[in-house]
Amino acid sequence: MTAVRLLDIRDAALSLDEVYSAVTDPAAGGICFFIGTVRDRDEGAAVTALSYSSHPTALDGLRTVAERIASQADVVALAAVHRVGDLAIGDIAVIVAASAVHRAQAFDACRRLIDELKTDVAVWKHQTFESGDSAWV
């Protein structure tokens, strides 16, 4: 079985249980999660609305990132899901998880997965602020 077990970009609510099920394995002694949520402030400005969008190739980019990490890290399983569309303050925007034989490898792979997802996968955030201004990130 491949280490990359679940990847998706979707416009529906994300499930921690689904991601946990994807990375659970008898060989794994540690599972690490990162859960990104929509916050109510960005650089001191009050956020009132947020929307994520993605390029049609974003899932392919996510697969490239995950497969690269799986080939370079000592992991049992990886999973990553990102939400697109309109989200409310507090909603889960992204979940990544890594399982490994030992916790250190799980932590390292999980950090790499979220960091490289944020830099290498074509998902963009549009924020609207209390002032009426908006910005793409």
Q: What is the rounded CA–CA span in Å between residue 16 and residue 5?
A: 14
The rounded Cα 100 to chain-centroid distance in angstroms is 18
Q: Domains along the chain?
A: 4-136 (3.90.1170.40)
Average confidence (pLDDT) per 10 residues, the chain, 137 residues? 94 98 98 97 94 98 98 97 97 98 98 98 96 92
Give the residue from 55, 47, 126, 111 showing the smallest Cα distance to 80. Answer: 111
DSSP-assigned letters across all residues of 22-42: HH--TT-SEEEEEEEE--SEE
- Global pTM value: 0.95
The per-residue pLDDT for 29 is 97
Q: What is the dihedral of CA 42, 14, 1, 72, to 10 degrees?
A: 0
